[in-house]
């Protein structure tokens, strides 16, 4: 069977919870972890005679995603009822968009094997979430309807994804996009993103192509599960075709399967439903959605530059590495802050180093983002400039930065009060050199006698001078003085 050529075809359906304060069709707040059934009203409980009213914010956020995914926005769309019966859906239908999704025919470019790959977006539509069945009490199932009516955007791709890794990248890039746009918190812990990959493979054997039936893996809630489930399905389907050459699309049913994370396998759930099983029909209680030029223009002006484009610009315009640009553009507010710091006239080389090496660490330690540290662009710019003119060393800048979120003092005032202003006084420097040369005779000998080791040895000695000076020595001056002294010793 070594002549088999395998081409996986993977499409993704992704539910993204929109970051609105209230639900899609009522005023109940959307709140994770609230007391069960405390965020409900007659509308989201599905009482007879109530009238749903659309949350306009959910439309704004969805249009923003549609534009970011290069979609066409449907100017006239509507709401449809998708009928099914389940305890977590008391009104027996879910309000969704069937034949007129809000956005359609777009694409999303993702990095793959060193270049960009374009994954086509078939559609993105808005729908309400159902409640939650809770099975942790023996002998009964409890129903929590706090989640019922929460706005979701369902994004559906074409089957353009060709590996589990590519699907993983798509999902993480999409998470980055929606959090960047402020459209969703994108928290996996809170279930803000749920993934359903559709998977089948083309098996090419002796010049003939066979397509296996399509499997939809339901309700994955982590990036890792997306990757593992797709990898597993590709192998399972190829093995299935090898064992039974009639295991092909049309001859065997498409299936819904679930992911068993403990056993790391997919398990059969049921044959895949066709759309008519849901008896979709237009919701008579809701007016259609009309999106005019003015509305579209307003959203377009709010979402000017998307993260991938901005990352590219940071590399080209500021000379950042891909990795540094990635870190700084990870959220929009941090990227905005970075550019505001540069606007103060601070040098980009030092500012970018301080963002990646100093501010990021401080933000991580405080479980927040760089933009949320409470240090404004002006003070960040000052700290970078202090390093540039040599008032403080890069190491001392680190210590000063640690204090900055908790005080309104300028970096210069902190440098003074913390005794970190660099000493350029030759006498003081010579004293530190005496101490370091005496304590490190072997390194000094290496520097004098082993040319290959010289620069490493000098670097070590300079580090020691910085240490004994408590970070106050000017590292440039220290290096010069060390080289001078070694030269004298060798004469």
CA 340 to CA 393: how far, in whole Å?
Answer: 23
Q: Which H or E run includes 250?
A: none
Q: Which is nearer to Zn ion, 44 or 183 (CB)?
A: 44
Task: Count H helices and E strands in the chain, helices first.
Answer: 17, 17
Going 366 to 370 to 376 to 381, the CA torsion angle's sign is positive
To Zn ion, the closest distance from the beta carbon of 240 in angstroms equals 45
User: Which among 124, 151, 130, 132 is positioned nearest to 27, based on CA atoms?
Assistant: 151
Region 11-30 residues binding Zn ion, contact defined as CB under 5 A: 26, 28
Lay out the site mask for Zn ion across 407-446 (x = CB under 5 A, - = otherwise).
----------------------------------------
Nearer to Zn ion, 57 or 120 (CB): 57
User: At its nearest, how many Å lie between Zn ion and the CB of residue 145?
Assistant: 9
**Shortest gap between Cβ of 79 and Zn ion (angstroms)?**
16
Residues 30-59 that bind Zn ion (CB under 5 A): 41, 43-44
Output 41 or 421, the one with its CB closest to Zn ion.
Answer: 41
Strands 193-205 and 142-144: unpaired
Decide whether 23 or 379 has the Cβ nearer to Zn ion.
Answer: 23
Give the binding-site size for Zn ion (rule: CB under 5 A): 5
Per-residue binder mask for Zn ion (CB under 5 A), 145-184, x = binder: ----------------------------------------
Q: Which 382-411 positions form the footprint of Zn ion (CB under 5 A)?
A: none
Between 147 and 379, CB nearer to Zn ion: 147
Residues whose CB is less than 8 angstroms from the CB of residue 2 and which lie 6 or more positions away in sequence, other chains included: none
Q: How far is the CB of 28 from Zn ion (least distance, A)?
A: 3
Minimum CB distance to Zn ion, residue 335 (Å): 36
Q: Where are the beta strands (DSSP E) in 168-260?
A: 193-205, 208-211, 215-218, 255-260
The CA-CA-CA angle for residues 487, 488, 491, to 5°, reads: 90
Per-position DSSP letters for 281-341, written without gaps between them: EE-TTSPPEE--HHHHHHHHHH--S-HHHHHHHHHHHH---HHHHHHHTTSHHHHHHHHHH
Work out how close the CB of 46 gets to Zn ion at its nearest, in angstroms, rounded to a whole number: 10
Per CB under 5 A, contacts with Zn ion among 92-121 are none
Between 91 and 192, name the residue whose CB sits nearer to Zn ion. 91
| Minimum distance, C-beta of residue 102 to Zn ion, in the bound complex (Å) | 22
| Beta sheet of 80-83, edge-to-edge order | 93-96, 80-83, 281-282
Phi/psi of residue 116, nearest 5 degrees: -100, 135
Residues 125 and 154 sit within 8 Å (Cβ to Cβ)? yes
Q: Give min distance, CB of 87 to Zn ion, in A.
A: 18
Closer CB to Zn ion, residue 44 or residue 68? 44
How buried is 287 (Cβ within 10 angstroms: 0-12 exposed, 13-18 middle, 19+ buried)? exposed
By C-beta, is 43 or 164 nearer to Zn ion?
Answer: 43
Binding site for Zn ion (CB under 5 A): 26, 28, 41, 43-44
């Amino acid at each position: 069977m070594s002549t088999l050529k395998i081409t996986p075809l993977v499409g993704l359906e992704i539910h993204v919870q929109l970051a609105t304060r209230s639900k899609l069709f009522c005023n109940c707040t959307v709140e994770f972890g609230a007391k069960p059934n405390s965020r409900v009203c007659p509308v989201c409980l599905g009482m007879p005679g109530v009238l749903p009213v659309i949350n306009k914010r959910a439309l704004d956020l969805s249009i923003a995603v549609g534009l970011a995914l290069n979609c066409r926005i449907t100017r006239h769309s509507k709401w449809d009822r998708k009928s099914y019966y389940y305890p977590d859906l008391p009104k027996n239908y879910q309000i969704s968009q069937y034949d007129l999704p809000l956005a359609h025919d777009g694409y999303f470019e993702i990095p793959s094997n060193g270049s960009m790959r374009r994954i086509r977006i078939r559609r993105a539509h808005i729908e309400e979430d159902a409640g939650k069945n809770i099975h942790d009490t023996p002998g009964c199932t409890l129903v929590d309807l706090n989640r019922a009516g929460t706005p979701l955007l369902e994004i559906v791709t074409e089957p353009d994804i060709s590996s589990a890794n590519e699907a993983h990248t798509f999902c993480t890039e999409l998470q980055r996009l929606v959090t960047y746009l402020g459209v969703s918190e994108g928290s996996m812990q809170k279930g803000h993103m749920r993934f359903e990959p559709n998977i089948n493979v083309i098996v090419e054997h002796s010049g003939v192509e066979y397509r296996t039936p399509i499997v939809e893996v339901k309700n994955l809630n982590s990036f890792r599960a997306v990757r593992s489930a797709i990898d597993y399905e590709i192998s399972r389907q190829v093995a299935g075709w090898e064992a039974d050459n009639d295991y092909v699309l049309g001859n065997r049913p498409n299936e819904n399967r679930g992911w068993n994370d403990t056993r790391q396998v997919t398990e059969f759930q049921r044959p895949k439903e066709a759309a008519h099983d849901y008896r979709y029909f237009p919701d008579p209680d809701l007016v259609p959605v009309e999106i005019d030029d003015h509305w579209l223009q307003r959203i377009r002006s709010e979402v000017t530059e998307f993260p991938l484009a901005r990352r590219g610009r940071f590399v080209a315009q500021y000379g950042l590495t891909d990795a540094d640009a990635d870190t700084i553009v990870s959220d929009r507010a941090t990227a905005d802050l970075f550019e505001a710091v540069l606007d103060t006239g601070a040098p980009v080389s030092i500012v970018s180093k301080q963002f990646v090496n100093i501010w990021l660490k401080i933000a991580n330690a405080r479980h927040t983002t760089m933009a949320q540290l409470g240090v404004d662009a002006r003070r960040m710019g000052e700290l970078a400039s202090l390093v540039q003119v040599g008032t403080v060393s890069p190491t001392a800048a680190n210590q000063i930065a640690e204090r900055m979120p908790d005080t309104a003092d300028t970096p210069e005032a902190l440098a003074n009060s913390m005794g970190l202003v660099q000493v350029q006084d030759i006498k003081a420097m010579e004293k530190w050199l005496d101490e370091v040369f005496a304590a490190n005779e072997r390194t000094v000998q290496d520097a004098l006698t082993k040319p290959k080791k010289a620069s490493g040895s000098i670097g070590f000695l300079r580090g020691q001078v910085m240490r004994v000076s408590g970070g106050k020595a000017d590292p440039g001056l220290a290096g010069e003085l060390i080289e001078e002294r070694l030269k004298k010793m060798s004469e």
